A and B are shown apart, each in its own frame.
Chain A
Amino acid sequence: MSANGGPARIGRLGLYAFLIGTALFFAIPLLVVISTSLKSLDEIRAFSIFVPPSSPDFAAWWKAWYAACTGLNCGGVHVGFWNSVRILIPSVTLSVLAGALNGYALSHWRVPGADLILLALLLGAFIPYQVILYPLVKITSTIGIYSSLAGIIAVHILFGLPVMTLLFRNFYAGLPDELVKAARVDGAGFWRIFASVMLPLSVNILIVATILQTTGIWNDYLLGLIFAGRENQPMTVQLNAIATTSTGEIEYNVNMAAALLTALPPLLVYFASGRFFVRGITAGAVKG
């Protein structure tokens, strides 16, 4: 590159201008949501949505968390938050572990019909789940877990399995076969090899899988609405209920704050683990 200006430098400036411009453009909705959540209702009514709050305060956040109403319940989104956590933890843990176990079995043990199973999983990963919602409702209600915590967890595990299995299968297929052979000669069986040799090697891919499942399950609305039941409604469903409540005046600041609170956990997960995420994705890509 030339050191004394010239076309290359101008090109670079243009590039930055474009990138900063588009970043700002895409950030506008988020900035509006944040600024509105910090305003009072009077201020919202009086000025344009682009005017920054004159005296920002967190009153709307407090109300969204503890006192926002959905229908007759005025407990705020923290009820939904804890419901989401109760759904999230078992769903993520079990679907990731089951995916790892499936992937390990399919890649390193001769499973009869392994190719067919893989094909079925691939199909499963690409079928839009709206297609099988109704049969699934019938099935869960027949076995008596419809509209319960167990029901929604089971559904999340089911829908997570195809992608989780494929992710882990590709990762494990990249590991040398001789590793499993060595462990077999050493006397370890299926489970011991999984626990002592495979899982310790899978830290990065486990993190990737956990992030994928955490964001997917936390952001889910449709499955939570249908399968969780009234007592276990996740945060997303509750947020929707708050935003669409049509009685009385619409508290935009509270709605905005509730939306931000709902979106926050996956965002934090990304920030905390982005480094691993990139590392794990590339590891999987290179080895798979």
Chain B
Amino acid sequence: MPGVVVRGLSKSYGPVQALRGIDMVVEPGDFAVLLGPSGCGKSTLLNAIAGLDDIDAGSIEIGGAEVTQREPSERGIAMVFQSYALYPTMTVRRNLSFGLRVRSVPKPEIQRRVAWVSELLQIGGMLDRKPSQLSGGQRQRVAIGRALVQQAKVFLLDEPLSNLDAKLRTEMRAELKRLHRSLGATIIYVTHDQIEAMTLATRIAVMRAGRIEQYATPDVLYERPATLFVAGFVGSPGMNFLSGSIGRASVPVVRIEADAIPLDGYPFCAPFVDGREVVFGIRPEHVSLADHETRGSVIEAETLFIEPMGPDTLGWFQYGSQRISARLPPQRARGLSATVRLALDIGQVSLFDPTTERRL
């Protein structure tokens, strides 16, 4: 089974460094997602893996073979583009079979594969139509089908769902997940949508300014973000960041505003320095309204406003000079008093160095 190995990949456009020494291993059968804001280099990386862009330094292996100097068509990849890039003058059938015809695949084999794909993606009824006669969702299916007929080792998808409306996007997301499961294919997928990334990926690479900030499973990425950027980028509504310092009482504590919050068993991955400045990160769902019997880390804050989101409500509070949000059950969020006691789930926090922005 083929995977993808990227080593020391660099690429610049004039003075702009688009990729800076990317190292990445995509295991066979992985669904790897490149996630990041626009301009972070994720599409550039995908194009480099595809061989559509020249690279300045580094190497790329696909399925154990060195492909750095090979043409896109000789790398054993298939690709789905953001704009679908269907050939406008060809029917769906000819769009699907174009690559096979270029490679002189025998006719019966072409027919067999087109039939297989149109069955798999339910596009059998539109084989003789032109792309302009299809809806967005149908074009998307054809674009995926055109990649699938290649029976490539690795599939590269560049923001394939970003042109669809919200409902279709959810449907196609589930469809992609099903395809990945049933085909067991290796997929590299570019998106700026963290929900797409979290739902689809087996591993996510969060990118920023041409570097990979963290490459991990969705769970690890969400629960133990490696940098402040990852912590802030993944998760909606975003993580709370409070500035404070760490110190030692009877146990290690983090001092924020006037409080000293004990850090029971926080897994430090950097040496503990008394008095060190930190950024204390906690997700809104790990902040709750404290009951009378709640023990441990409770802080007092003033209620600012609430944002109902349906299944739960986001409450915003003023905590000393800083702000903190909490994800609350809607019925409890109604009629909050002016001052509330908030309980922090210390088992779920992340601490970061404010200058290096790395996890402590």
- B12 beta carbon closer than 8 Å to chain A: no
> Per a CB cutoff under 8 Å, which of B52, B83, B87 touches A185?
B52
B81 touches A201 (CB 8 A): no
Q: Is the CB of B77 within 8 A of A185?
A: yes
Residues of A within 8 A of B73 (CB): 184-188
Q: What residue in chain A is nearest B143 (Cβ atoms)?
A: A182
Interface of A is mostly: helix
Q: Which residues of A contact B47 (CB under 8 A)?
A: 181
The smallest beta-carbon distance between A119 and chain B, in angstroms, is 20
Contact B99 A201 (CB under 8 A): no
B72 on the A face (CB < 8 A): yes
Asked, given contacts A184-B72, A185-B78, A186-B73, whether A178 binds B85 with beta carbons under 8 Å apart, the answer is yes
Beta-carbon contacts of A161-201 to B below 8 Å, as 1s and 0s? Answer: 00000000000000010110111111110001000110011
Task: Assess whether A201 is in contact with B102, with CB atoms less than 8 Å apart.
Answer: no
Interface hub of A183, A184, A186, A201 (most chain B Cβ within 10 A): A186
CB distance from B185 to the nearest CB of A (A): 16
Query: How distant is A189 from chain B, measured CB to nearest CB, in Å?
Result: 9
Q: Mark B81-108, 1 if CB is under 8 A from A, else 0.
A: 1110111111000000011001100000
Contact A196:B98 (CB < 8 A) given known A184-B72, A185-B50: yes
Docked-complex contact A178 and B81, CB < 8 angstroms: yes
Q: Residue-by-residue, is A110-149 near B (CB-CB < 8 Å gives 1, otherwise 0)? A: 0000000000000000000000000000000000000000
Docked-complex contact A192 and B79, CB < 8 angstroms: no
**In the complex the two chains form, is A186's CB within 8 Å of B99's CB?**
yes
Give Cα distance in the complex from A186 to B50, angstroms.
Answer: 11
Cross-chain pair count, CB within 8 angstroms: 58
A176 x B85 contact (CB < 8 A): yes
Q: Nearest-CB distance from B46 to chain A (Å)?
A: 11
- Is the beta-carbon distance between A185 and B72 smaller than 8 angstroms? yes
CB proximity of A255 to chain B, nearest CB, Å = 48
Does B219 lie at the interface of the complex (its beta carbon under 8 Å from any beta carbon of A)? no
**Closest A residue by C-beta to B98:** A186
Known: A181-B52, A181-B79. A186 touches B102 (CB 8 A): yes
Q: Which residues of B contact A179 (CB under 8 A)?
A: 85, 87
B85 touching A181, Cβ below 8 Å: yes
Residues in A with CB closer than 8 Å to B50 are 181, 185
A residues within 8 A CB of B307? Answer: none
**Inter-subunit contact A178/B82 (CB<8 Å):** yes
B residues near A182, Cβ cutoff 8 Å: 79, 81, 85-87, 146
The residues of A with any CB-CB pair to B shorter than 8 Å are 176, 178-179, 181-188, 192, 196-197, 200-201
Q: A197-B87, A201-B89 are in contact. List 9 more A-B contacts (CB 8 A).
A: A176-B83, A179-B85, A181-B50, A182-B87, A182-B146, A183-B87, A186-B150, A187-B102, A188-B99
Q: Which 4 A-B pairs have the closest CB atoms?
A: A186-B99, A187-B73, A178-B85, A200-B89
